[in-house]
Structure 1
Amino acid sequence: MNRPDPESLLSKLNSEEEKSKRGKLKIFFGYAAGVGKTYSMLESAHTLKENGVDVVVGYVEQHSRKETLALIDGLEVLDIKEVKYKNIVLKEFNLDLALKRNPEVILVDELAHTNAKGCRHAKRWQDIEELLMAGIDVYTTVNVQHLESLNDIIEIVTNVCVKETIPDKIIDLSSQLELIDVEPDVLLERFNQGKIYKKEQAIRAQENFFTKDNLIALRELALRKTAQKVNKEVEITRLSKGKEIVIPTSETILACVSPSPSSQKILRTASRISQASLSKLIAIHIKNPSQKEMSKEAKKQLENNLELAKKLGAEIVLLHGDNMVEDILRFAKMRNVTKIIIGRNHRTHSIFSKFVKKDIVDKLIDEADYIDIHVIPYKGRSSNRYITKNESSLISKIKVSSLDIIKLLCITIVVTVISSVLKYMGFIQENIYLIYILGVALVSVVTKGYTAGIISSVINVILLNYLFTEPFYTLDIDDPNHIITLVVFCIVGIITSTLTSIIQQQVEIYSKREQNTHMLYEINRSFLRLSNKEEIIKKGLELLSVGLDKNVVCYIKDKKQKELKLYKNIKNKENEEIFISESEKAVAKWVFNNSTIAGNGTATLPGSRGFYMPIIGMNETLGVIGISSLGKKIDNEDICLIEAVIAQMAISIDREILAEVQKEASLEIESERLRSSLLRAISHDLRTPLAGISGAVSTIIKNKDAINESIIDELLHGVFEDTQWLIRLVENLLSMTRIDEGKLEVKKNPEMIEEVISEALSHIKKRIQYIKLKIDIPNEILFVPMDAKLIEQVLINLIDNAIKYSKEECEINIKVYEEGEYIAFEVKDNGPGVCENVIDNIFDRFFTGEIKYSDSRKGVGLGLSICKSIINAHKGDISVKNNKDKGATFKFILPKED
């Protein structure tokens, strides 16, 4: 059983998990207005209702069509939201009402519609996204001309620029895409009968859009888009189950590229087929690591071929392997390739090669299942023809290096000496044969290619016959049995040598693949651990500099300075000034502005000293990577490494940008909440005491002769209480501002506890004159490092809080005691206590609880929050717990030593 492809399996699992949490989206997809999308959607809604599903109509564009209006009857219809815009009342989908109604399925017509100003979202597809996130299934409609990726094609085909578009991901992520299709002639007949548009709209549409040629082209695009979605689902399912057979639901073209001029003809032919079928084009080149280095001409030709593939829009794939046919077919099955385009040079074949030896094309035809093989003949000049692997392999295998010859001779001498010793010691002849076979195996292991092993087999047979077979020291053989033994020995030696050489090649190939896999793994892992944009950039430059052994620079968009910021990793200091000159920076700016590769080795600005590639994020170009081309030029394997690193850099930088945006949004939300709370404080908490002060003073002024002194004293006492409350509120607001701005300075000095408590009580002596206050402190004098003014504010806030929540017979107990390395302060009251469900939030900013006061004066919720900030700044802790009988105890601790 084949192992499932991990990425496809993960993609499928993620998709299924996302669908299980989100609502399901069903799109009724058409190629033009009037094909029956809304009608089909309403019919499906009636079917759902008959099956007991809670379905409602959120919004349906009726277009005054009688058939559509008739189908709405019997379905629950939500009220439309009316939005006033430039003296016009526009009717829009009511998203809030739909979320409140929360049906199982909702119908929302016109997916690509642009909402009127004043709605929550600019586009209706965003409304639908919110419904899906809420777990509501949505039925909607859209035409093919509204897809963003087809916008330019639609304009070319119809000569109409469609303004309302939707991202293609909406179609790709939909749970169900139902194509509503009718013949263009039938649609035109409906159009002429006035069933699609009103008379004025119909005339306009017929002049600009509603022509038969346009409808045929739009229909083809709609069919292809539907087929692409189906093919994607098929491919994910196929690979997730480990199936490697090709399911030809849509065309994928694979062009085989070699260092031959014929490859250019192959690529152009493959590109024409790809364009005609609107299919994907992949260009593959397989490199055999066991082969010797290609000539400069062959390398240059290969680079030109791969460059042409890029220009034609092909995906470039570079693989390593020694079995080209097997590697091509394995890759083709993995990528669901339907057509393989390969070339064949015209050349004369010997009779032997025609009947015995097959070339790559013949092997592909024999072994390919479900895949079409297209053979492109090429007859070029013999001087320009590249020598293929089959032609060069014989010469490369026959050649033996001088080092391999030395190794062969040394091993042969050692084996001969050992065999002579064994013969002298009286061992049988079969043991000597085994020693010589071991020698052949050793030669095959320590040398490269097949030739040394074969030569070793032949030499060993001759030595065995000459030294160890009767008659000795001659090449004659008296016993016929020895002939068979020596022939079999030679064959075994050759086979052993061949198999050993194949294993060596396989080891080299898999070692190269392992290096590539390990490199990609290290790249991915390196960026996962980074959480800072500068670290990401420096890591990317480091990986590229080490991997390419070149000077590397990066230009990143700096939002503050509104220009490209330079980062660099320079290995060769001599060429640094050339590489970061103004002319090179101008090339980088061009690449950044155009999001296109440029520089040395490309067709754009080839006179540059560097190769520049953009870092493209989700929504914008993030920066540019520059690689020095001084010395060795950038080849396709280098580009693969650059693309891998840049892709990870883009993902990581996008992640950081999204985190920053989220942080800014959170800060903005928090700021808005703080502003609302402050406005509430000003509108209510300040207005209440000010109204009391104004009323008391007004009463005294108007009636000072009519009221006695006791009433005046009572009114003035109330004015004093209100002013004290306002002073404490303002002090808390100022303290909160200092804390938010990071300006809360703690100036610690050894302070005596009695003096701090006494000073705090003196500030609120008017408030505590009618309460029972008990102070319990140790007999010995305690000095604690603290900021006395801040701790006094803490005590004032805690005592004021206790008075505010307690009844008329208020009792407060202030207790100080030692607790290990800390000094503990407790403020205990006999009030109603703290509700258990709000204890965790009581120190949060603007948290006020639910208890109402007799004077209707509700606190702003800053006092306890400021207490916590002050105690934390002192490296202490504050907490609250309910007493066993009644009331609550607030406790904070301060360290004895600073």
Structure 2
Amino acid sequence: MKRPDPEILLSRVNNEEAKLNRGQLKIFFGYAAGVGKTYSMLESAHTLKESGIDVVVGYIEPHSRKETLDLIEGLEVLSTKEINYKNIKLKEFDIDLALERNPEVILVDELAHTNVVGCRHNKRWQDIEELLIAGIDVYTTLNVQHLESLNDIIQIIANVSVKETIPDKLIDLSSQLELIDVDPDVLLERFNQGKIYKKDQAIRAQENFFTKDNLVALRELALRKTTQKVNKEVEITRLSKGDTSVMPTSDTILVCVSPSSSSAKLIRTASRIAQSSLSKLIAIYIKDPSKQDISKKASKQLEDNLDLAKKLGAEIVLLHGDNIVEDIIRFSKLRNVTKIVIGRNHRKHSVFYRVLKKDIVDKLIDEVDYIDIHIIPSIAEGNKYKPKKSVGITSKLKISGTDILKLLIITLITTMSSYILKRVGFTQENIYLSYILGVVLVSAFTRGYGSGIISSVLNILLLNYFFTEPLYTLNIDDTNYIVTLAVFCVVGVITSTLTSRIQQQVEIYSKREQNTQMLYKVNRSFLRLSNKEEIINTGIELLEAGLGKSVVCYINDKRENQLLLYMNQSRDIEEELITDESERAVARWVYNNNKTAGSFTDTLPGAKCFYAPIIGMDETLGVIGVLCLDQKVDNEDIRLIEAVVAQMAISIDRENLAEIKKEASLEIESERLKSSLLRAISHDLRTPLAAISGAISTIIKNKELIDESIIDDLLKGVFDDTQWLIRLVENLLSMTRIDDGKLELKKTHEIVEEVISESLGHIKKRIKNMKISIDIPDEILFVPMDAKLIEQVIINLIDNALKYSKEGSEIKIKVYEEKQFVVFKIIDDGPGICESIIDNIFDRFFTGEIKYADSRKGVGLGLSICKSIVNAHNGTIEAKNNKEGGATFEFKLPKEVS
């Protein structure tokens, strides 16, 4: 058994994941009105309701068929949305009401319907896509003539141009396609009985569409489309199991697009080929610099063709070049293209034309032997692409007024120079060279071939008239001059042609270099950015510079759950146009649905901006908006937007990953600290608890046998151990509040003397054998503080001094004012602090190596908590050794509330 294709497996997994997150679409598919699509859909709805599934009717087209209308009874029907259009009230599907109702299944009739102006989307299929994204299953109906890829075939079969079409991808992505089929004779009988259309509609339909031949052809198309859908599902299943013996799936289809209305047929044909072979589709347009001034009509047709290709799922590629065949072949090699779809019209050429000049199709066939060429015939139409009329025979021979002026000036200078050369005594050959130089200069400083050719002919005439015997006539006495002048003319024409071609190549490569430089600039601009705001502002600047339009950016703030607006503050004039609530609502829709929308699109076209989502690795990061008040965003603009947005997404993802890594590091550090804490307190808790347990056990068992003094000593030990445990627990609780960010300060103006007195009261039993001296100013000192927390600081510092001081030692507490602070000092006469650890003593879980009186080592939290509390008061704390011995711990608190 062969190894399964990993790409097919991935496709299948992605499809399964998509099904889990989005609603499923079921299409009741037919070949004409009246086959029973809506009837079958309503029957299925009743079956679902009987099964306990929440099903509602979102919209059903008004039918004159009683059997269909009767089936609506018993189902919940959502109210429609009334829209006033040209003083007529029209009813449309209310998508907002459907999203708010959020049923399990919703019925929405007529998938290909075009919405009235004023709805959120131009097409109903876009409404249904939004419902699917929201996780709602949708049942809908569709006729075969509404498929975009079959549009040209339908026009041939029925002689009707269908305007309401849907992309074929909806059929491909639908979870189920149910064919509703009846015999054409049965359908015609229903039609004749008036069960399908009203009388006036029936007459028109019978004249234009409802004939048996048309219905048979449409039925065949519907059956074929259903078969293709089934075959594709079978292929995906078969290939995922490793069976690739029948159909390879590596084809790439390239369709050549031009500014001609016939290109639409090419694109649809290529789309059908790609769908039938599960292939990738690429639409390419090669722009010739010599034909830059195509008419507005042709430019509009080109945009429509590229939009159609995009709608049918093609990748759009725009290139610049003057040799279309070479560019197509070069791109095909680069992208491993296996089939090229190209058009050829029925224009008949003369024998002379066919002998001397091959068209693009013939050249392609001659040049490639490893790519299939699919030639699609088309009829030359009146609205076929034509460049603007110009002064020459073709665009390459046209001459502008500026070029004529340059030609005359250069020719005049050349003639004057030649006359001077002759008077000085130079030979005739030098004069010929002078005129050839003139032809080269004309070709170099003008555009196209025309100026150079005219310059060659004009220079021959001037050379003959002024410098060939007999002078000042066009006659030639010496027959040798005839050959010379003829050769001169040929050389001049060839020179001008080659020079013009070099100019065109320079323009092409200059354009390609500009595109490359643009992409390089985009990539380089984001390379070293390490701040989200810088990334966003850079993206806005690049787009505004490249598009010449105002740009805004909305980035999602997860904490606030809203889109934050970024824009170029220097464009104040347009700020009101692009920051109102309606525009923000469009941006929010684009963010939620991960699709383009806004100006010149089919979704929310009334917006002032064109909006595109910024898609990251796992989520949508934000939205880019481009202001389009007077000019739409064309395909080249979209390429720039996609390039910048892609780099923005990569850079923002990089920053998000850095933040996640930082958070992960903090969590790891937190876990490490928790582990250190558990290891530290496991021993330190066991020691006092064991001492307490042993002392109490001794008293209980030997109460009558031991002296009162021994019992007092044991109880004193128990008391000391419990006090130590209390302080440890208080420190642990304080540390937890600090780590959780719940250390709340309740500052009030407190008297320093009372705070110190209260602190000493808490540990008075610990300082019985120690001397405590207090040095406080005579005047009353008020300091804004949280008294309980500062008391804990003082207790911890005194407790630390007690640990390292011998019995009978003196601990000094000194308080005084220093500028804007009140300084607290706790001074002991112990062994001091080792210089190697003095910078680390306020770190969490750090303990000194010196043993103290009761030989109980702490967990290293007391001083760390002191530092956190003092810092929370906007104060400072430090430790230093005294010159005469011992250590001083000093902390400062501000005298004013900050």
2:403, 2:534 → 1: CA distance? 49
Distance 1:493 1:891 in 2: 100
Per the alignment, residue 374 of structure 1 pairs with 374
Q: In 2, are the aligned partners of 1:551 and 1:570 still within 8 Å (CA)?
A: no
Decide whether aligned partners of structure 1 residues 852 and 478 sit closer, same or farther in structure 2, where only a CA change above 3 A counts.
farther
Partner in structure 2 of residue 264 of structure 1 = 264
Q: Where do 1:140-219 residues align within 5 Å?
A: 156=176
Q: CA deviation at 1:427?
A: 2.2
Q: Structure 1: how far apart are the matches of 2:593 and 2:533?
A: 24
Paired position in structure 1 for 2:107: none
The verdict on how the C-alpha distance between 1:741 and 1:585 changes in structure 2, with shifts beyond 3 A counting, is closer
Q: Deviations over 1:679-735 (max 9, x none)?
A: 555655335324424643675688677445774576467457646755774686578
Q: Matches of 2:493 and 2:552 in 1, distance apart?
A: 53
Counterpart code for 1:220: E
What corresponds to 1:321 in structure 2?
321
- CA 1:213–1:553 in structure 2 vs 1: closer, same or farther (change >3 Å)? closer
Q: Which amino acid aligns with 1:358?
A: K
Distance 1:875 1:357, change over 3 A: farther
Q: How do 1:312-391 residues align onto structure 2 when only pairs under 5 Å count?
A: 312-381=312-381, 383-387=382-386
| Residues 21-44 of structure 1: CA deviation (Å, up to 9, x unaligned) | xxxx98799999xxxxxxxxxxxx
Corresponding residue for residue 58 of structure 2: none
- 1:650 maps onto 2:649 in alignment: yes
* Structure 1 residues 739 and 791: alpha-carbon distance in aligned structure 2, compared to 1, 3 A threshold: farther
**1:852 CA displacement:** 13
In 2: Cα distance, 1:640 partner to 1:28 partner = 32
**Secondary structure of residue in 2 paired with 1:282:** strand
Q: 1:265 to 1:229 in 2, by over 3 A?
A: same
Which residue number corresponds to residue 633 of structure 1?
632
The C-alpha deviation readout for 1:39-77, integer Å capped at 9, x for no partner, is: xxxxxxxxxxxxxxxxxxxxxxxxxxxxxxxxxxxxxxx
**Identity over aligned residues, as a percent?**
63
Q: Distance in 2 between matches of 1:394 and 1:227?
A: 59
CA 1:288–1:736 in structure 2 vs 1: closer, same or farther (change >3 Å)?
same
Distance 2:231 2:579 in 1: 54
User: 1:568, 1:761 → 2: CA distance?
Assistant: 57
How far does residue 354 in structure 1 lie from its aligned partner after superposition? 1.0
Please name the residue that 1:524 is paired with.
Answer: 523
How far apart are the structure 2 equivalents of 1:555 and 1:223? 44
Separation of aligned partners in 2, 1:713 and 1:151: 91
Q: Which amino acid aligns with 1:566?
A: L
Displacement of 1:154: 10
- 1:538 is aligned to 537
Over aligned residues, Cα RMSD in angstroms?
Answer: 5.2
Query: In structure 1, what is the Cα distance between the partners aligned to 2:606 and 2:849?
Result: 74
Q: Which moved more, 1:536-545 or 1:497-506?
A: 536-545
Amino acid at match of 1:769: K
Matched, 1:220 2:235: yes
* Aligned-partner Cα distance in 1 for 2:732–2:684: 12
Structure 2 runs not aligned, ≥5 long = 10-168, 180-226, 746-772, 776-795, 811-817, 891-898
**2:442 paired with 1:443:** yes
1:290 aligned residue: 290
The code of the aligned residue for 2:684 comes to: D
Aligned counterparts of 1:259 and 1:878: Cα–Cα separation in 2: 83
- Residue deviations 1:790-809 (CA, integer Å, cap 9, x gap): 8869x98986xxxxxxxxxx
Q: Is the 8 A contact 1:158 1:214 kept in 2?
A: no
CA contact (8 A) 1:798 1:864 kept: no
Question: How far off is 1:670 after superposition?
Answer: 3.6
SS of 1:384's equivalent in the other structure is coil
For 1:419, the equivalent position in structure 2 comes to 418
Match runs of 1:694-709 below 5 Å: 695-696=694-695, 699=698, 706-708=705-707
8 Å CA contact retained: 1:436, 1:460: yes
Q: Compute the displacement of 1:253 (Å).
A: 0.3
- Pair 424,739 (structure 1): closer, same or farther in 2 beyond 3 Å: farther
- Which amino acid in 2 is paired with 1:221? I
Q: Name the SS of the counterpart of 2:466 in structure 1.
A: helix
- CA distance in 2 between partners of 1:858 and 1:158 (Å): 79
Partner residue, 1:454: 453
The residue number in structure 1 matching 2:408 is 409
Contact map agreement 2:551 2:627 (CA 8 A) in 1:
yes
Please say if residues 760 and 796 of structure 1, whose CA atoms lie closer than 8 Å, have aligned partners that are also in contact: no
Structure 2 SS opposite 1:274: helix
Q: 1:31 to 1:544 in 2, by over 3 A?
A: closer
Residue of structure 2 in register with 1:274 after alignment:
274
The verdict on how the C-alpha distance between 1:433 and 1:215 changes in structure 2, with shifts beyond 3 A counting, is: closer
> Quick one: distance in 2 between partners of 1:496 and 1:283?
37
SS at 1:396 equivalent? coil
Change (3 A) 1:441 1:874: farther
Task: Measure how far apart 1:541 and its partner are.
Answer: 2.0
SS at match of 2:291: coil
Question: Could you give the per-residue CA deviations for residues 731-782 of structure 1, whole angstroms, max 9, x where no partner exists?
Answer: 865785697589899xxxxxxxx999xx989964575438999xxxxxxxxx
Whether the aligned pair in 2 keeps the contact of 1:31 and 1:215 (CA below 8 Å) is no
Kindly provide the amino acid, as one letter, of the partner of residue 235 in structure 2. Answer: E
- Report the Cα distance in structure 2 between the residues aligned to 1:230 and 1:791, rounded to whole angstroms: 87
Aligned partners of 1:623, 1:677: CA distance in 2, in Å?
Answer: 42
Q: Which amino acid aligns with 1:634?
A: V
The CA deviation at 1:494 is 1.2
Q: 1:530 to 1:376 in 2, by over 3 A?
A: same
Structure 2 counterpart of 1:428: 427
Determine whether 1:769 maps to 2:806.
Answer: yes
| Secondary structure, aligned partner of 1:633 | coil
> Which residue type is aligned with residue 470 of structure 1?
E
* Structure 1, gaps ≥5 residues long: 1-24, 33-148, 160-211, 232-247, 746-753, 774-782, 800-813, 815-824, 829-839, 880-889
CA positional deviation for 1:512: 0.8
- CA 574–390 in structure 1, closer or farther in 2 if over 3 Å, else same: closer
* Cα distance in 2, alignment partners of residues 721 and 467 from structure 1: 126
Change (3 A) 1:560 1:692: same
Q: Distance in 2 between matches of 1:215 and 1:474?
A: 83
Look up the match of 2:219. Answer: none
Please state whether the residue corresponding to 1:567 is helix, strand or coil: strand
Q: Distance in 2 between matches of 1:28 and 1:417?
A: 76
Could you tell me how far apart the structure 1 residues matched to 2:797 and 2:841 are? Answer: 23
Segment of structure 1 superposing worse, 541-550 or 214-223: 214-223
What are the Cα deviations for residues 436-484 of structure 1, in whole angstroms up to 9, with x where unaligned?
Answer: 2111111111111111111111222222222223333332323333222
**Following the alignment from structure 1 to structure 2, what is the Cα–Cα distance between the partners of residues 518 and 485?**
48
Residue in structure 2 matched with residue 569 of structure 1 by the alignment: 568
1:614, CA displacement in angstroms? 1.8
User: Tell me, what secondary structure is at the counterpart of 1:590?
Assistant: helix
TM-score relative to the length of structure 2: 0.59
Superposed, 1:737-886 pairs within 5 Å as 764=801, 768-769=805-806, 825=835, 845-846=844-845, 859-862=858-861
Aligned length: 622
Q: Which residue in 2 is equivalent to 1:582?
A: 581
* Cα distance in 2, alignment partners of residues 440 and 313 from structure 1: 50
The answer on whether the counterparts of 2:552 and 2:624 sit within 8 Å (CA) in structure 1 is yes
Distance 2:870 2:557 in 1: 40
CA contact (8 A) 2:339 2:371 kept: yes
**CA apart distance, 1:213:** 13
C-alpha distance in 2, partners of 1:254/1:152? 21
Partner Cα separation in structure 1 for residue 442 and residue 889 of structure 2? 81
CA distance in 2, matches of 1:478, 1:227: 86
Measure the CA separation in 1 of the matches of 2:734 and 2:832. 15
Shift of 1:292: 3.3
Alignment match, 1:597? 596
Shift of the 319–227 alpha-carbon distance from structure 1 to 2, 3 Å rule, reads farther
CA distance in 1, matches of 2:341, 2:258: 12
Structure-to-structure mapping, 1:232-271, within 5 angstroms:
250-271=250-271
Decide whether the 8 Å contact of 1:263 with 1:305 is kept in 2.
yes
| Residue 625 (structure 1) shift | 1.9
Q: CA deviation at 1:371?
A: 0.3
1:654–1:469: structure 2 CA closer, same or farther, 3 Å change rule?
same
Q: Determine if contact 1:31/1:219 at 8 Å carries over to the other structure.
A: no
